Chain A
Amino acid sequence: MMWEPVLWGQLLINGVMLAGLYGLLALGLNLVFGVMRVINFAHGELVMLGAFVTFWGYTAFGLHPLLALPLSALALFALGWVLQRLLLERVLGGPPMAGLLVTFGLSLVVINVGLLVFGADIRSIPVVTGSLPLGGFVVPRARGLAFLVAVTLTGLTVAFLKWSALGRAIRATAQHPEVAITCGVDVRRTRLVTFGLGAALGSAAGSLLMVILPMDPQSGSFLILKAFAVIIIGGLGSVAGGLLGALVLGVAEVFGAFFFSTVFGEVVAYVLLLLVLLVRPAGLLGVAER
């Protein structure tokens, strides 16, 4: 049974579906790390917030998650901006662990707030369930949607970074802040925008996760670890790499879980992480740096 290609086809689809989830999670994280070299430990919580705002939109106003997505993203953009301004600007240039620890503290605060406001129950939005038949295979609807959104958002982000003025400013700030200043870039504002965008992208991930997985205020901390693995595999700071890394991981995980066991599938992420770090630290699409 293990060697039936028909099954492999389904597994491949499953892996790609999983990649959609991972790709979404990694998007915001990558952007923030790429620009500000800050490991945002609170990214999982920003995702969770986006998920719960979406959930609230659904239960209070009957908003479909796809409609709630941009609204929630906007709200989280504002929050991200504020957080960068109040907290993260102040640790710039300080000890390397500072940003990480501030975001760690932040994650605890957000989790507690989430528990108090929403309670610890799991929530999910029962829409877009089931799957579409495709030949002899099935494509899960919700995860398929997530994958499409992941690809779209990744593409949009890459295009934005490459061709828009703000995008160029972001890249300049990431690569050479001093030079960027002399070119007239408002570096500080750029950073605020970047973190806001990271939060907004995280919120988008959350909106879809609310449909795919049962979420509770503590879900963020589980998801963040896989997101780290994805961005390392894809290449730190490379947005397109994030999607590629997600694909590699998603497929590897599903095949690993099938051929060995589910726990092995869970380990695959971290084994790949280590392999990439040791063999090619820049990741698949990252730029090698000292």
Chain B
Amino acid sequence: MKTRWSVAVALAVLSALAAGTMAPASAQNPLVVGASISQTGRLAVTAVYVHQAYQLWVDDVNARGGLFGRQVTLKVYDDKSDPGTGVKLYEKLIVDDKVDLVVGPYSTPVTAAASTVTEKYRKVMVAPMAAGDALWKRGYRYLIQTLTPSSLYYVGVVDIAVERGLKTLALFSEDSEALRVTIPAVVDVAQKKGLTVVHNEYFPRGTTDFSAVLTRIKALRADVLICGCYEPESVLSVRQSKELDYSPKLLFAGHGAAVPEFYKALGKDAEFVLASDHWDARMRTPGNAEFVERFKKKFGREPSYHAAGTYGGMQVLEAAARKAGALDQDRIRQALVELDIQTVFGRYKVNETGAQVGKTAVIVQWQGGKKEILWPGDTATGSARLPAPPWAERR
């Protein structure tokens, strides 16, 4: 008999613990925006920027008097860069914490999983950091894209290469969702514009040595090297290119090469490297200069495009909410589909499915420690310094 009571007590303790975890937050007056960030896991590098942008937006909107007269607060959890956690996280935000608005995670895979939850509850979700075209081919109605679609990330490089009369192209890229769309798109455009692709391969995440593939590409004497990668591989590809004395006329190190950390890690070796960026601190988009200033003041460093993209996404959400006049999800969705505005990040306009059609990526080049925008022409701040001088000739 004693044993049965003891078991019952133990079960009660466990249940209390469970209840403590899963008890919904008490009802509050502030307007709560729920989001996830990839605080741990593969995408942790960018998460800090994203989180800081959310915090800055919350400060800014509250300084303006909040939304619908209510102060805005943020509720954030770590999605661990893992789709499975993403599912649980958005269930928690919507069902348990009962947030008023949700915004999306960083990266396409986590957004893919999380959006199945938000779609189910018909909660409109702006996904400021999701680029995968496939996300908007599933027939979902409540997912909104503010970032350039993956397929358009790198295509500008081709124009630059063609303009400089470069002929051969080699690519190696990380095998991940976004790049599996970006790279075929680049290859397609390149071939249509007369470039020859001499090598194209994917490497699994976590590869720490590119010497073999670079040795081959060097032997093939490719004019243009496109590395489809994130920050760690961007740095590594440039470093190993120098080590193997491979000097492509145009070295494009992916979107990972657009962040300040890339230059800090490489120093002068980062010069002449091209990158895909979505935004630049000097772009003359409305409110951009002030945004950069405020970000620097609050966090002690310049924002990256992840920060600007997140902030811009929140601006879009705020504009749509105000246009809808209420927190009704369907009305906000309608407003989001109809809006055509400029944010600090650039132009925002989506089609019926929610996919972004107004925003393009920009191609930049590191010159003198700063990024100059090369493409598209109407936003250019400088011209391409190509062909890049061979490693041996650089000081």
Contact = CB atoms under 8 A, between A and B. Distances in A.
Nearest to B206: A222
Contacts of A214: 231-232, 235-236, 265
28 contacts: A1-B220, A10-B215, A11-B212, A14-B211, A111-B40, A115-B39, A119-B48, A120-B39, A120-B47, A122-B231, A126-B266, A129-B242, A129-B269, A133-B245, A138-B244, A140-B211, A140-B243, A140-B244, A214-B231, A216-B44, A218-B40, A219-B232, A254-B209, A255-B212, A257-B211, A258-B213, A263-B204, A265-B209
B172 interface: yes
Q: Specify which of B175, B231, B239, B261 lies most central, judged by the most chain A CB atoms within 10 Å of its CB.
A: B239
A223 B172 CA distance: 21
Given A115-B40, A129-B242, A214-B265, A262 B236 contact: no
Q: Specify which of B204, B210, B215, B268 lies most central, judged by the most chain A CB atoms within 10 Å of its CB.
A: B215
Nearest to A138: B245
A218 B391 contact: no
B3 interface: no
Contacts of B44: 115, 120, 216, 218
B7 interface: no
A18 interface: yes
Interface string B195-216: 0000001111011111111011
B212 A222 contact: no
Contacts of B245: 130-131, 133, 138
Contact of A263 (B203, B231, B244): B203
Contacts of B40: 111-112, 115, 218
Contacts of A115: 39-40, 44
Interface string B128-167: 0000000000000000000000000000000000000000
Interface string B24-55: 00000000000000011110110110000000
Nearest to B211: A14
A266 B242 contact: no
Nearest to A250: B209
Given A1-B220, A133-B245, 12 more contacts: A11-B211, A21-B208, A112-B40, A115-B40, A126-B268, A130-B245, A131-B242, A214-B235, A218-B40, A255-B212, A258-B213, A266-B203
A176 to B, nearest CB: 39
B202 A263 contact: yes
A122 B45 contact: yes
Given A121-B48, A122-B45, A262 B216 contact: no
Q: Please classify how large the interface on chain A is, using the bins under 10, 10 to 19, 20 to 34, 35 or more.
A: 35 or more
- Those 7 A-B pairs whose CB atoms lie nearest each other, nearest first: A257-B212, A120-B44, A126-B267, A140-B243, A14-B211, A124-B265, A262-B203
A11 to B, nearest CB: 6
A138 B265 contact: no
B71 interface: no
A142 B240 CA distance: 10
B215 A122 contact: no
A213 B243 contact: no
A213 B40 CA distance: 20
Contacts of B204: 262-263, 266
Nearest to B46: A120
Interface string B163-202: 0000000001001000000000000000000000000011
A213 B208 contact: yes
A152 interface: no
Q: Specify which of A14, A142, A254 lies most central, judged by the most chain B CB atoms within 10 Å of its CB.
A: A14
A138 B243 contact: yes
Nearest to A225: B206
A223 B209 CA distance: 12
Contacts of A212: 239
Interface string B262-291: 001111110000000000000000000000
A130 B201 contact: no
A110 to B, nearest CB: 13
A214 B208 CA distance: 9
A257 B214 CA distance: 10
Contacts of A258: 212-213, 215-216
A18 B211 contact: yes
Contact of B235 (A122, A257, A261): A122
A36 interface: no
Given A121-B261, A126-B267, A129-B269, A261 B201 contact: yes
B18 interface: no
Contacts of B213: 257-258, 262
Contacts of B63: none
A120 B48 contact: yes
Interface in B11-31: none
Contacts of B391: 130
Contacts of A223: 208
A262 B243 contact: no
Contacts of A122: 45, 231-232, 235, 261, 265
Nearest to A1: B219
Given A124-B265, A141-B243, A262-B203, A7 B215 contact: yes
Contacts of B264: 123
Given A214-B236, A218-B40, A17 B242 contact: no
B266 A124 contact: yes
Contacts of B211: 11, 14, 17-18, 140, 254, 257
Contacts of A112: 40
Contacts of A1: 216, 219-220
Interface in A180-221: 212-214, 216, 218-219
Contacts of B235: 122, 124, 214
